[in-house]
Amino acid sequence: MGRYQDIVYFVTDLQPFVQREDLPALFGEIMILQRPDDMGPPETRRQEGYAYLMQFIDGTRIDLTFRPLATLEANLAGDSLSRLLLDKDDRIPSLAPASLAGYLPQPPDEAAFHDCCNEFCWLAPYVAKRLRRGELLGPKYHLDTLMRAELNRMLGWFAGMEIGFRQPLGKHGRLLPGLIGQDLGSVTISGLRSL
């Protein structure tokens, strides 16, 4: 598996970097390229920048985004893993050292825990009802998307308790099996109640 990098350039004029056919190839041989800012109906497209999502033949992936300089301050606070590569105009104040702080699970308060359990249990009858009717797509959506999100929150809190909320869970909880064991079936609601 290759490396993954998110690179953001803040520029005074965005237009020279929009829809540049030659730009992605400067980084290597492209396997697949996506320009999300050109996708979908024009009225739904993002306006705060222009991105090239590039997957290269060698396994490297780069998400290269150009943003207007006016958005610099708002974007600097957004990611605890940010590192400054170049500031040719000396516009960026010193950044805190890159850390995982912004990616650590947070313990829930009582209301968040209650809401999560309530939503999970609220959705369960919809799945049963629609399966009983012989429907498949609706229940699959409820299970894979809505209920899975709540289950991942619960498992994240459980893992946080196990590790003291000191390690990230990974995107979409991909690190959960290693943090709480491969057999996720052994995690019970009673274990979560001790939160």
Residues 73-103 have pLDDT tens digits of: 887 776 777 777 888 888 887 777 888 888 8
- Residue 66: predicted pLDDT: 93
- Residue 63: predicted pLDDT: 93
- Residue 78: predicted pLDDT: 67
User: Which tokens belong to 57?
Assistant: 């033949």
Give the list of residues 6+ apart from residue 23 with CB closer than 8 angstroms, or none: 17, 52, 64
Where the chain has pLDDT below 70, the residues are 1-2, 45-46, 78, 182-195
Within the chain, all domains assigned CATH 3.30.460.10 are found at 4-101
- Residue 195: predicted pLDDT: 44
Name the CATH architecture for the domain at 4-101: 2-Layer Sandwich (3.30)
- Residue 183: predicted pLDDT: 60
- Residue 2: predicted pLDDT: 60
- Residue 94: predicted pLDDT: 77
- Residue 192: predicted pLDDT: 46
- Residue 142: predicted pLDDT: 93
- Residue 32: predicted pLDDT: 95
Give the list of residues 6+ apart from residue 104 with CB closer than 8 angstroms, or none: 165, 166, 167, 168
User: Which tokens belong to 69?
Assistant: 């300089």
- Residue 114: predicted pLDDT: 97
